[in-house]
Amino acid sequence: MRNRAEHDRGLVRRGDNRLWLSDEAIASWRAEGRKTPGGQPRFSNLAVETTLMLGALCRFPPRQAEGIVRSLMALIKVELAVPDHTTLARRRRIVAVHKWLWPRKGSVDIVIDSTGLKFFGAGEWARKKHGETHRSWHKLHLSVDPASNEIIAHELTETARRTPR
């Protein structure tokens, strides 16, 4: 080791974590209710995926991933419930966290945003002909690495979910 000061700064930067959450990401943190009988999920796939992703970034198991996200939420003063480690362990089989993206060299920024999508299908012709005004809209939430433009995570929500403007 030739430059101890630079090496020391590099070790300190490894622990530098920043978390930015858009209003839409905060609004879609809780799961949408299902109309089927049985238990209702408390957290959306976005919440589970974000927690698992931050855990994978630090190479943490689910308990420590829960802990780091709780502390980050407290630091940015956002009062959101965090998925517990049992939820993370159960739903990580369903929610795909792209492990091939981790670990990265250097710092990683993740941008979370959403956009509305209009779906066209077989019913579109009938809507035009008969004048029905109802349209099928969905919202696509994306987590993107701005440096490489890679999509890290995604979620498609139904029309009924309300997000702040």
The whole-angstrom separation of Cα 151 and Cα 116 is 17
Count of CB atoms situated within 10 Å of the CB of 46: 24
Q: What is the mean pLDDT of the chain?
A: 77
With 70 as the cut, is the pLDDT of residue 66 above it?
yes
Whether residue 65 lies inside any domain: the answer is yes
The least confident of 4-18, 31-45, 148-162 is 148-162
Asked if residue 112 belongs to a domain, the reply is yes
Q: How many domains does the chain have?
A: 1
In a domain, 162, yes or no: no
The tally of CA atoms less than 13 A away on the side-chain side of residue 113 is 8
Q: What is the dihedral of CA 80, 163, 146, 13, to 10 degrees?
A: -20
DSSP state of 131: T
Position 50 in a domain: yes
Domain range for 60 is 20-31+40-157
- Does pTM top 0.75 for this prediction? no
Residues 6+ apart with CB under 8 A from 164: 23, 24, 27
Position 7 in a domain = no
* Mean predicted confidence (pLDDT) in 154-160: 70
Does residue 163 lie within any of the structural domains? no
Structure tokens of 54?
Answer: 């931050």
